[in-house]
Chain A
Amino acid sequence: MKDFLVFENLSKSYANIKAVKNISLSINKGEIFSLLGPSGCGKTTLLRLCAGFEIPDTGRIILNGTDITALPPEKRKVNTVFQSYALFPHMTIRDNIAFGPKIAGKSKKEIEHEVDEMLDLIQMHDEADRKPSQISGGQKQRVAIARALINKPQVLLLDEPLAALDLKLRQRMLIELDQIHDEVGITFVFVTHDQTEAMSLSDRIAVMDKGHIEQVGTPVEIYESPVSSFTAAFIGDTNFLDGQVTQTFDDNRAEINVPGIGTIICYNDRKLKEGDPVHVSIRPEKIHMSKTEPEENRKLNILSGTVENMVYTGTSTKYWVRSGEWLFTLQKLHMRYLLDETPAKWDDHVWISWHADDCYMLEKYREADEQLLTLPDIEEAVPGSASPSSNNKDISSKESAPAKEKR
């Protein structure tokens, strides 16, 4: 069912900060929908508006056809899993889970039955009589989910539920969350700043930045065809090139003149005309690198360059290759790493190439988004203002860049 949970022109300000700016969004019944963005992008505010902890300045929230904008949290058929779990410390696990049904005034027998069902779901019968302080982080997480689900909400809101867990546990809880979703089948709205979490769990993702939504789509759409430089740089890593369209072809492709490189050929679904300025994004893993020159092909962009830096990460190696004024980030997956090829080294002369359909024209471009990219720390200043490498000075501020977290 479409339009199950609808946000209409929602705005919310705190003091002078506009946390949510005129957001409209429609979430389908039964899907896992993620709100993804860096901290301070307004995703948690949006969730709190939905739960009823905040009242929007403007706009409406419609759940299953009813306007719930003015309802207090206890009257909404939505439940929240908090980032800090917020389990009641003075109650046992069983009492925590039973809290909702008890408030609803159900009979003792009913409550006991429902709690047992939930304990089955989260497989925690043995720990039922313990206090929250006596169980582990992953178990607290599961109790928080059970405590919310027992009320049979129409929407389950999850506020960075995995943020407090370590990497391995996080990966396991992701799978568990997915299983729980399959079992109960209700709508999940999942808030996270971790793109891997969002990508692996969600049916659809809304990428948020500075209080507005950049793009809504399936993980594939978001990753493969980002509309803005923010989405492209926040979800994974990428290369930005800018130039001018010099020629368009009938097969949805265009030739672009990029200063310092020459012309490249690019997929053109935006129907740009000759003379239009354009920014394109190319994902690092889509650029091929070889020591011999690849065979000429009309749909293949071929450049020569030198390896300026490399980082070995186990499953893949990240290379930074300079071609003219441009520094390209590319990622090479290790298939037979040491067996059939000698890996490229620093200062090796290499050929890089990518298919025309693998570079994507952006609708929106902001130079600031280049700070989200992972670039090697190279001391020397590089001429060429538009070159991505000119942003090296901001390397230190990239600690939270998503591509770094992936390692």
Chain B
Amino acid sequence: MKISRINTEEKLITFPSFFWLLLFFLIPTLLVVLISFCTADPYGNIGKGFSLSAYSEIINISFLILVLRTIKLSIFTTVICLSIGIPVAYAMARMEKRWQQNFMLLVIIPFWTNFLIRIYAWKIILHPEGFLKQFLVFIKLVPESASLLYNEGAVLLVLVYTYLPFAILPLYSAAEKFDFQLLEAARDLGSSSIRSFIKIFLPGISVGIVSAIMVVFIPALGTYIIPDMVGGPNSEMLGNKIAQRVFTDRHLPKGSALSTILILAFVIPPLIQLIIRKTKKTSKNSPMGVLSK
């Protein structure tokens, strides 16, 4: 009785946010999927009838390269953000409370400046006449002809810069709850400090790692401003292609088709995970189920 009442209360409380998601997320997403099956007229409007022609673009070697590059850059971004974020989270969680708050502030401060302005700042830093380039040339680390801007490296650098705070936040909040005596216990039982870190600390903050991956990998896949501003023609990502189809070519179905593929890329991996977990659970419970029958 009591439980069901709480459930209805919970449903009532969550209704507004569900309604919001339905209205401004689910319905637009479905519209995008729908439009991807439409045709376009020369004026950029949606034409009559349905067609798969928007998807024909996908069967193309240059598109495959684009997708692979997008995935590669996203994976690199995620891996680099994790490998910087996890040690940072560990160090922050071990600090005095007062210092933890100060560091938190340092992580958050970049958000006070507009995203576009921060990317422009990177353009200035990486510019051929910029300080960094001149310095690297001066210490003879790069030749005069090298370019720090408008390539994949620049895109990756700014991607990591942009998403690192998003990775640190969930990692820190998981590390902060971690019981550090477990590391002492592991060392007490003969495990070296590095091994304890891998075997005890990483599983201990697994929730944080999973959400860090989610908040870095998924937005990185869809990013478009960063490659647009610091990337060159050879470092385009899927997001640029979508923007190009919509703004330049004014072909909404083609842009929608690419978006649909991107959505599928987000949805399919967690879906597979969910299915695997479900089947595991049922197979675990099945002997009990048989017994109870």
Chain A residues engaging chain B, CB cutoff 8 angstroms: 51-53, 72-74, 78-80, 82, 84, 86-90, 99-100, 103-104, 147-148, 151
By a CB distance below 8 angstroms, the chain B residues around A80 are: 184-185, 188
Q: Is the CB of B189 within 8 A of A103?
A: yes
Q: A74-B187, A103-B189 are in contact. List 12 more A-B contacts (CB 8 A).
A: A72-B193, A74-B188, A74-B192, A78-B188, A80-B184, A82-B184, A82-B185, A88-B182, A90-B203, A103-B190, A104-B190, A148-B188
By a CB distance below 8 angstroms, the chain B residues around A78 are: 188
Q: Is the CB of A88 within 8 A of B188?
A: no
Q: Is the CB of B190 within 8 A of A86?
A: no
Q: Is the CB of A84 within 8 A of B191?
A: no
Given A74-B192, A103-B195, CB of A86 within 8 Å of CB of B181: yes
| 8 intermolecular pairs with C-beta atoms under 8 Å apart | A53-B187, A74-B188, A74-B189, A79-B188, A82-B181, A88-B186, A103-B189, A151-B190
Contact digits for B176-219, partner A, Cβ 8 Å, 1 yes 0 no? 00010110111111111101000010011010000000000000
How distant is A164 from chain B, measured CB to nearest CB, in Å? 13
By a CB distance below 8 angstroms, the chain B residues around A148 are: 188-189
Q: Is the CB of B187 within 8 A of A72?
A: yes
Given A86-B184, A90-B204, CB of A103 within 8 Å of CB of B191: yes
Q: Is the CB of B181 within 8 A of A100?
A: no
- Total CB contacts across the A-B interface at under 8 A: 60
By a CB distance below 8 angstroms, the chain A residues around B204 are: 89-90
Task: Give the one of A86, A89, A100 with max B CB within 10 A.
Answer: A86
Q: In whole angstroms, what is the CA distance A51 to B186 when docked?
A: 12
How distant is A41 from chain B, measured CB to nearest CB, in Å? 21
By a CB distance below 8 angstroms, the chain B residues around A84 are: 179, 181
Q: Is the CB of B187 within 8 A of A73?
A: yes
Q: Is the CB of A86 within 8 A of B187?
A: no
Q: In whole angstroms, what is the CA distance A245 to B252 when docked?
A: 107
How distant is B177 from chain A, measured CB to nearest CB, in Å? 11
Q: In whole angstroms, what is the CA distance A80 to B187 when docked?
A: 10
Q: Is the CB of A151 within 8 A of B181?
A: no
Q: In whole angstroms, what is the CA distance A379 to B200 when docked?
A: 56
Q: In whole angstroms, what is the CA distance A95 to B190 when docked?
A: 15
Q: In whole angstroms, what is the CA distance A186 to B186 when docked?
A: 21
Q: In whole angstroms, what is the CA distance A82 to B190 when docked?
A: 15
Q: Is the CB of A86 within 8 A of B191?
A: no
Q: Is the CB of B189 within 8 A of A99?
A: yes
How distant is B98 from chain A, measured CB to nearest CB, in Å? 15
By a CB distance below 8 angstroms, the chain B residues around A86 are: 179, 181-182, 184-185
By a CB distance below 8 angstroms, the chain B residues around A87 are: 185
Q: In whole angstroms, what is the CA distance A103 to B200 when docked?
A: 12
Q: Is the CB of A90 within 8 A of B190?
A: no
How distant is A21 from chain B, measured CB to nearest CB, in Å? 24
By a CB distance below 8 angstroms, the chain A residues around B192 are: 74
Given A84-B179, A86-B182, CB of A73 within 8 Å of CB of B188: yes
Q: In whole angstroms, what is the CA distance A79 to B185 when docked?
A: 9
Q: Which 10 pairs of residues, A with B, have the shortest CB-CB distance?
A: A86-B185, A100-B189, A73-B187, A90-B203, A103-B190, A86-B181, A103-B191, A80-B188, A74-B190, A74-B187
How distant is A29 from chain B, measured CB to nearest CB, in Å? 21
Q: In whole angstroms, what is the CA distance A325 to B182 when docked?
A: 55
**Please, which residue of chain A has its CB at the minimum distance from the CB of B187?**
A73
Q: In whole angstroms, what is the CA distance A89 to B200 when docked?
A: 9
Q: Is the CB of A53 within 8 A of B184?
A: yes
Given A89-B204, A90-B203, CB of A151 within 8 Å of CB of B184: no
Q: Is the CB of B189 within 8 A of A151?
A: yes
By a CB distance below 8 angstroms, the chain B residues around A89 are: 182, 204
By a CB distance below 8 angstroms, the chain B residues around A88 are: 182, 185-186, 200
**Please, which residue of chain B has its CB at the minimum distance from the CB of A104?**
B190
Q: In whole angstroms, what is the CA distance A84 to B204 when docked?
A: 16
Which of these, B182, B188, B190, B195, contacts A51 with CB under 8 Å? B188
Q: In whole angstroms, what is the CA distance A74 to B182 when docked?
A: 13
Q: In whole angstroms, what is the CA distance A104 to B179 when docked?
A: 24
How distant is A105 from chain B, measured CB to nearest CB, in Å? 10
**Please, which residue of chain B has its CB at the minimum distance from the CB of A157?**
B188
Q: In whole angstroms, what is the CA distance A87 to B182 when docked?
A: 7
**Please, which residue of chain A has its CB at the minimum distance from the CB of B184?**
A53
Q: Is the CB of A79 within 8 A of B189?
A: yes
Q: In whole angstroms, what is the CA distance A260 to B181 when docked?
A: 55
Q: In whole angstroms, what is the CA distance A90 to B205 when docked?
A: 10
**Please, which residue of chain B has its CB at the minimum distance from the CB of A48?**
B184
Q: Is the CB of A147 within 8 A of B189?
A: yes
Q: In whole angstroms, what is the CA distance A301 to B195 when docked?
A: 67
How distant is B181 from chain A, measured CB to nearest CB, in Å? 5
**Please, which residue of chain A has its CB at the minimum distance from the CB of B196?**
A74
Q: In whole angstroms, what is the CA distance A72 to B192 when docked?
A: 9
Q: In whole angstroms, what is the CA distance A172 to B11 when docked?
A: 47
**Please, which residue of chain A has its CB at the minimum distance from the CB of B202?**
A90
Given A90-B206, A100-B190, CB of A73 within 8 Å of CB of B200: no
By a CB distance below 8 angstroms, the chain B residues around A99 are: 186, 189, 191
By a CB distance below 8 angstroms, the chain B residues around A103 are: 189-191, 195
**Please, which residue of chain A has its CB at the minimum distance from the CB of B178?**
A89
Task: Give the one of B184, B190, B200 with max A CB within 10 A.
Answer: B190
By a CB distance below 8 angstroms, the chain A residues around B190 are: 74, 100, 103-104, 151
How distant is B59 from chain A, measured CB to nearest CB, in Å? 45
